[in-house]
Amino acid sequence: MSLDKILSIGGRPGLYKLLTQTRTGLVAQSLLDNKKVTVGMSSNVSVLSEIAIYTLEEELPLKEVFQKIQLKEKGSKTSINHKSDKLSLEEYFFDVLPNYDEDKVYISDIKKIIQWYNILHDHGITDFTVSAEDAENDNEEE
């Protein structure tokens, strides 16, 4: 499953798998407890494939940040918990992405990224490579 079908829903914990879209919103299934939820159009919904992290040079897609974490952890879950102290989380993230913009990437963002990576890992969603289709779309935008 690609990150195109994985959602973050504002005000709700964890991640969700998009099941279907309706006229008034969408139906998603929680990756934490497998419960189905309906979400209206007014809810703040983010697709993971559309999220990017600020670096000093550019915005890096979340997929590439997950790749860097996966490389650092040799395919395992993170060696740090998302509830760890601020300094530990910042040090860990600096190891993963040394050029991240510390003024724009908050500790809450780092916590979410680590938590999301571990949730995806638990559900076997670990293919964060950039597909040929993604690369083609990026080339068209330039």
CATH number at residue 31: 2.30.30
Q: Is the pLDDT of residue 114 over 90?
A: yes
Residue 78 lies in a domain: yes
Q: Are residues 127 and 73 in the same domain?
A: yes
**pTM of the predicted protein model:** 0.86
Whole-number pLDDT of residue 130: 62
Q: Are residues 21 and 56 in the same domain?
A: no
Q: Are residues 113 and 44 in the same domain?
A: no
Q: Are residues 62 and 17 in the same domain?
A: no
Q: Are residues 58 and 109 in the same domain?
A: yes
Residues of the domain holding 37: 3-48
Q: Is the pLDDT of residue 12 over 80?
A: yes
For the stretch 52-83, pLDDT in tens is 999 999 999 999 999 999 999 998 999 999 99
Structurally, the chain folds into a number of domains equal to 2
For the stretch 27-56, pLDDT in tens is 999 999 999 999 998 999 999 999 999 999
Closest CA to 130 of 75, 53, 63: 63
